[in-house]
């Protein structure tokens, strides 16, 4: 996705959450200190079914959906659940807020991590990125991309993983572990899940694909 297209939606996200573009840009500039060019062919998904794994309660019931996919891009703690089930994760997508040690250890083993910078996680970037093996980190931002910090679209770990899979040529996306109505989350997380849902609706419309995870929900959705 080109940045100009994403930016029109990003402006709405900033307004809705009262987030600061300048803070996101500061985070981007901080993560750029650790970023190196990343060979995206390592995650080439052309012709593949990609499981975009969320960390919702249903993931334990959806393991076969991830196991049967050609590639798995996992959001944050979904990576740990899948690893415990013996399912290889091709890319962990994280903003370092829950399990940064898992991300660090993956890079030290040579496994890709997509590390995201936003205005609220500058301290986590400063604490954890120096411990990562930078050769295995793909750095992202939701602000304007710069140098080796990329922007493929998306807002939460989960929907950013979906936009990444789209960018990398995935033929089909499937969604184990997604729970938009998770009653255990707080109000902020629930609002982020609302946005994730809308962004997936936008993505499936752009792809001309129908995501099963949105079945029965589209009538209540608006394109962002």
Give residue limits of the domains in the chain.
3-220
How far apart CA 201 and CA 154 sit, in angstroms, is: 12
118: left (phi over 0), alpha (psi -120 to 50) or beta: beta
How far apart CA 142 and CA 152 sit, in angstroms, is: 8
* Whole-number pLDDT of residue 81: 98
Question: What pairs with residue 52 in β-bridges?
Answer: 73
Tokens of 100: 């940064």
How far apart CA 84 and CA 86 sit, in angstroms, is: 5
Q: How confident is the model at residue 215 (pLDDT cuts 50, 70, 90)?
A: very high
Question: 78-109 pLDDT, tens per residue?
Answer: 999 999 999 999 999 999 999 999 999 999 99
Indicate the average pLDDT of the chain: 97
Task: With beta carbons less than 8 A apart as the criterion, state whether 9 and 161 touch.
Answer: no
């Amino acid at each position: 996705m080109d940045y100009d297209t994403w930016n029109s939606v990003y402006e709405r996200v900033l307004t809705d959450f009262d987030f600061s573009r300048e803070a996101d840009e500061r985070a981007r500039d901080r993560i750029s200190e650790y970023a190196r060019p990343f060979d995206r062919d390592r995650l080439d998904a052309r012709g593949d079914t990609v499981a975009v794994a969320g960390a919702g309660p249903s993931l334990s019931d959806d393991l076969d959906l991830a196991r049967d996919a050609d590639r798995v891009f996992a959001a944050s703690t979904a990576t740990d659940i899948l690893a415990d089930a013996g399912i290889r994760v091709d890319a962990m997508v994280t903003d370092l807020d829950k399990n940064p040690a898992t991300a660090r250890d993956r890079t030290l083993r040579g496994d890709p991590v997509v590390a995201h910078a936003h205005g609220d996680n500058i301290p986590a970037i400063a604490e954890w990125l120096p411990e990562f093996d930078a050769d295995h980190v793909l750095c992202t931002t939701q602000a304007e991309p710069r140098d080796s910090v990329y922007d493929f679209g998306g807002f939460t770990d989960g929907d950013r993983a979906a936009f990444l899979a789209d960018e990398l040529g995935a033929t089909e996306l499937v969604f184990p572990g997604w729970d938009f109505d998770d009653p255990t989350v707080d109000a902020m997380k629930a609002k982020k899940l609302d946005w994730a849902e809308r962004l997936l609706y936008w993505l499936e419309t752009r792809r001309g694909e129908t995501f099963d995870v949105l079945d029965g929900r589209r009538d209540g959705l608006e394109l962002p």
